[in-house]
């Protein structure tokens, strides 16, 4: 089964409920590069949450996304963006003069061993590979109990790669291609309403896979939103989307 093909099924939810990345993430990444910023690649671009930043800051951006439905959304980010609608493993590039390669919440879906040597080849000397992800978001609010109860059902649909928290760093280090590997935590707390929290989980691979198995998904979603609303008095609550950022330089 190709897990990457599943995201398109929840494209609307993804576009509506996936939070954008904080400016501090991109500030940190860019602090490792010297201008002029010419070429960038976004691997597993999805709806373009990172591609949009790259488009505004680089002369030319290549967005790699195999899921056709996600590509439809990605096409809204045009201008200097060229989209390759294929898996990163299949991509035969272009030009080996890339300043920055990003992969947000996507690298762990890929065949890391194959991709990492391609990344090395595509980057120019001193070019940067930035791979980042958040773990399963948590909240300090009383709503956490409700979410973690539901999570027991979703967990059955959670791919092993999502549980393998060291996959990206291990793949990069085992390649022996990059000598300079740094890991940083980027604080990222976002206030979300009950609807937004449930919307987020409905856009995940595991949440959406669970929801596809039940009889009345809309009722399930509405009831979960109501439960969270009741316990939070309908107020937005802080949700921890802290990012683990791995930066490597060629």
Decide: helix, strand or coil at residue 177. coil
In the complex, what is the shortest distance from the CB of residue 47 to ligand SAM, in angstroms, rounded to a whole number? 6
Nearest to 49 by CA among 86, 89, 21, 84: 21
Site for ligand SAM in 149-208 (CB under 6 A): none
Are β-strands 81-84 and 60-64 bridged in parallel, bridged antiparallel, or unpaired? parallel
CA atoms of 57 and 128, how far apart (whole Å): 15
In the complex, what is the shortest distance from the CB of residue 38 to ligand SAM, in angstroms, rounded to a whole number? 21
Closer residue to ligand SAM in complex, CB, 89/144 = 89
In the complex, what is the shortest distance from the CB of residue 156 to ligand SAM, in angstroms, rounded to a whole number? 19
Residue 90 corresponds to which tokens in the numbers above? 């299949």
In the complex, what is the shortest distance from the CB of residue 94 to ligand SAM, in angstroms, rounded to a whole number? 15
Give Cα separations from 82 to 51, 55, 61, 110, 117 (angstroms): 10, 10, 6, 20, 22
**Binding letters toward ligand SAM, positions 15-54, x by CB under 6 A:** ---x------------------------xxxx--xx----
Question: Is residue 224 near ligand SAM by the rule CB under 6 A?
Answer: no
Binding segment for ligand SAM (CB under 6 A), chosen from 33-41, 86-94, 187-195, 223-231, is: 86-94
Residue 104 corresponds to which tokens in the numbers above? 């947000």
Cis peptide before 36 (omega within 30 of 0): yes
Residue 163 corresponds to which tokens in the numbers above? 């549980």
DSSP label at 10? Answer: G
Question: Is residue 209 near ligand SAM by the rule CB under 6 A?
Answer: no
- How many residues lie near ligand SAM (CB under 6 A)? 22
Binding site for ligand SAM (CB under 6 A): 4, 7, 18, 43-46, 49-50, 64-67, 70, 87-89, 104-106, 109-110
């Amino acid at each position: 089964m190709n897990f990457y093909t599943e995201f398109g099924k929840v494209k609307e939810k993804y576009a509506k409920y996936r939070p954008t990345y904080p400016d501090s993430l991109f500030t940190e990444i860019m602090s490792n590069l010297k201008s002029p910023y010419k070429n960038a690649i976004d691997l597993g671009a999805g709806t373009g949450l990172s591609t949009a930043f790259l488009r505004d800051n680089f002369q030319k951006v290549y967005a790699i996304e195999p899921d056709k439905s996600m590509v439809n959304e990605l096409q809204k980010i045009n201008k200097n963006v060229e989209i390759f609608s294929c898996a990163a493993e299949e991509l035969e590039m272009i030009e080996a003069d890339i300043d920055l390669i990003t992969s947000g919440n996507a690298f762990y879906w890929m065949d890391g061993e194959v991709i990492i040597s391609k990344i090395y080849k595509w980057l120019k000397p001193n070019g940067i590979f930035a791979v980042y992800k958040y773990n399963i978001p948590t909240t300090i609010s009383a709503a956490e109990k409700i979410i973690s109860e539901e999570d027991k059902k979703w967990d059955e649909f959670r791919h092993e790669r999502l549980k393998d928290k060291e996959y990206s760093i291990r793949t990069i280090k085992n390649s022996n291609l990059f000598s300079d590997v740094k890991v940083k935590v980027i604080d990222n707390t976002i206030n979300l309403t009950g609807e937004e929290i449930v919307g987020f989980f409905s856009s995940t691979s595991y949440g959406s896979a669970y929801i596809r198995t039940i009889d009345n998904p809309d009722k399930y979603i509405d009831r979960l939103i109501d439960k969270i609303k009741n316990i939070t008095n309908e107020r937005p609550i802080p949700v921890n989307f802290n990012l683990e950022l791995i930066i490597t330089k060629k």
